[in-house]
């Protein structure tokens, strides 16, 4: 099912100048979206209105000087495939709970996954 959602999303993201990364485990999804303020805001609105999503929480909304995922329409990483010890750098436990930690820590984890592998596809 995830691939069925990702492929059309990647195509649309490319057309709208959106880049980013999706990281997931079980029923938790973390996503970085990069692009113009209007385009990112419109995409976030679509995500929040989509019945396939629940408990959407904005952890960080910030202006950036440059994109971290400029060549990715939507990178993808499964936390189930990441070394659990690696997760301890960003969480007190070997699992990620984005609702019980600062948003900038989750952002740092995703940027670290991008820098050190752990990416399924771009």
Residue 76 lies in a domain: yes
pLDDT, residue 105, reads 87
121 in a domain, yes or no?
A: no
Residue 97 domain-assigned (yes or no): yes
**Domain presence at residue 120:** no
Q: Is residue 99 part of a domain?
A: yes
User: Over the stretch 37-92, which tens digit does the pLDDT of each residue have?
Assistant: 999 999 999 999 988 888 888 999 999 999 988 887 777 777 777 777 777 888 87
Q: Would residue 122 count as lying in a domain?
A: no
DSSP notation for the chain: -HHHHHHHHHHHHHHHT-EEEEEEETTEEEEEEES-HHHHHHHHHHHHH-TT--S---------SS-SSTT-SSEEEEGGGS-HHHHTTT-SSSS--GGGS-HHHHHHHHHHHHHT----B-
State the total domains in the chain.
1
pLDDT of 93: 75
CATH number at residue 18: 3.30.70.100
Range of the domain at 20: 2-115
User: pLDDT (tens digit, 9 = 90+) per residue, 12-40?
Assistant: 989 999 999 888 887 788 889 999 999 99
């Amino acid at each position: 099912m995830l691939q069925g959602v990702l492929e059309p999303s990647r195509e649309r993201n490319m057309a709208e100048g959106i880049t980013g990364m999706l990281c997931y485990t079980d029923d938790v999804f973390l996503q970085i979206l990069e692009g113009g303020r209007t385009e990112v805001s419109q995409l976030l609105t679509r995500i929040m209105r989509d019945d396939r999503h629940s408990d959407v929480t904005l952890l960080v909304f910030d202006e950036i000087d440059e994109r971290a995922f400029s060549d990715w329409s939507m990178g993808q990483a499964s936390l189930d495939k990441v070394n659990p010890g690696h997760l301890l750098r960003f969480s007190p436990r070997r699992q990620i709970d984005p609702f019980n930690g600062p948003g900038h820590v989750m952002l740092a984890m995703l940027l670290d996954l991008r820098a050190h592998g752990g990416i399924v596809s771009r």
